[in-house]
Copies of this chain bind each other. A is one copy, B any other.
Amino acid sequence: MKLQNDLILRAAKGESIERYPVWLMRQAGRILPEYRAVRSKLSGFKELVETPEFAAEVTIQPVDILGVDAAIIFSDILVVPEAMGLEYQMLEAKGPWFEKTIRSEESLKFAETNFDIEDRLGYVLEAIRITNKELGGRVPLIGFAGAPWTIFCYMVEGHGSKTFSESRKLLYTNPVLAHELLGRITDVTIKYLKAQANAGAHMLQLFDSWAGILGTVQYAEFGLKYIDKIVNAINEVPITIFSKGAISSVEKIAKLNCNTVGLDWNMDIAKIREQIGETRTLQGNLDPCALYASHNEVENSTIEMLNSFKSKRHIVNLGHGVYPDIDPEKVKTFIKTVKDYEIK
């Protein structure tokens, strides 16, 4: 199906664009009353993730309501460890919770790789197919996965953490096991992302949410090494790497075989553009808290960010997922400001 708006794909490839494309991480879900209406009919977050019709519905909502230039499939990075053999629950106040964890060779049996993606993750692929059908080519659809290091963190720790010290401990006490697990996650992730592209995802993003808890040397060994394998294996569609908190590794990331580098709100776009030149598209990075301010101030801080771009190779986004209590009207102001902005 021909896309009526392929702005974000052109921006990712460094082609000519008439204005900057814009979307928001976590745009599907959280802030929209229309999302909460769907969610309230279901038993919980996981039922929504696992029911393709509903997942497609909430994926499309921000396209209709907010006017973003891309949809991102409603799902969770933790569907991958679950498919590998570690079931998780999403607890209301606590977040993700795994009954079992991987901290020994013995427990590697819960990190399977030899399974059919359609078989265990077919619900995501089906959601992608339904979404594209219902979108009818209005905007591209982004697929995604967690980067191996971040998935590893959850598989070893079993839940969220400020320090992920159990996960980092394993890097010191059993690096062989750590590399084995990271390799397995990588293999599955490659198959999963390829399946998403084949199902119709026009673009892919790797989320490395916990990149920032490793020093640069360890992040190169246990993080970027595996991201490198993934981006080299994906030739189907453009791919974005978003390593949150990895300020000291941005130059290295920009040298990997990706189209776009995602930046969090602590990263200085102008400085990074200077470091990497025109080789990659940058995505980001307004502070999500900036949307708490008045409409006028949202407009001002968005324009300030846009003025700092010294290149056309940009996709506009926040520097983190939109926060749950942000007023959708503020998001509209953010998006309108980007759309009205004339590229110099």
Contacts and interface: CB of A to CB of B under 8 A. Distances in A.
A190 interface: no
A329 to B, nearest CB: 15
A171 B287 CA distance: 11
Contact of A248 (B163, B173, B266): B266
Interface in A159-176: 160, 162-163, 165, 168-169, 171-173
Interface in A299-338: 320, 323, 325
A297 interface: yes
Contacts of A325: 165
A307 to B, nearest CB: 14
A211 to B, nearest CB: 10
Contact of A162 (B162, B267, B292, B297): B162
A290 interface: yes
A85 B212 CA distance: 35
* Most B-side CB within 10 Å, residue of A215, A265, A323: A215
A121 interface: no
Please tell me how many copies of the chain the complex holds. Answer: 2
Contacts of A34: none
Interface string A260-291: 00000111100000000000000000011110
Contacts of A172: 289-290, 292-293, 297
A61 interface: no
Interface in A128-176: 160, 162-163, 165, 168-169, 171-173
Contacts of A165: 288-289, 323, 325
Contacts of A215: 265-268, 287
A113 interface: no
Interface string A185-213: 00000000000000000000000000011
A247 interface: yes
Given A163-B320, A172-B290, A214-B266, 18 more contacts: A160-B162, A162-B162, A165-B289, A165-B325, A168-B287, A168-B289, A169-B292, A172-B289, A172-B293, A173-B292, A173-B293, A212-B266, A215-B268, A215-B287, A216-B266, A218-B287, A245-B245, A247-B247
Closest 6 CB pairs of A and B: A172-B293, A168-B289, A169-B292, A215-B266, A172-B292, A165-B323
14 contacts: A160-B162, A163-B323, A168-B289, A169-B289, A169-B292, A172-B289, A172-B292, A172-B293, A173-B292, A215-B265, A215-B268, A218-B287, A247-B247, A248-B268
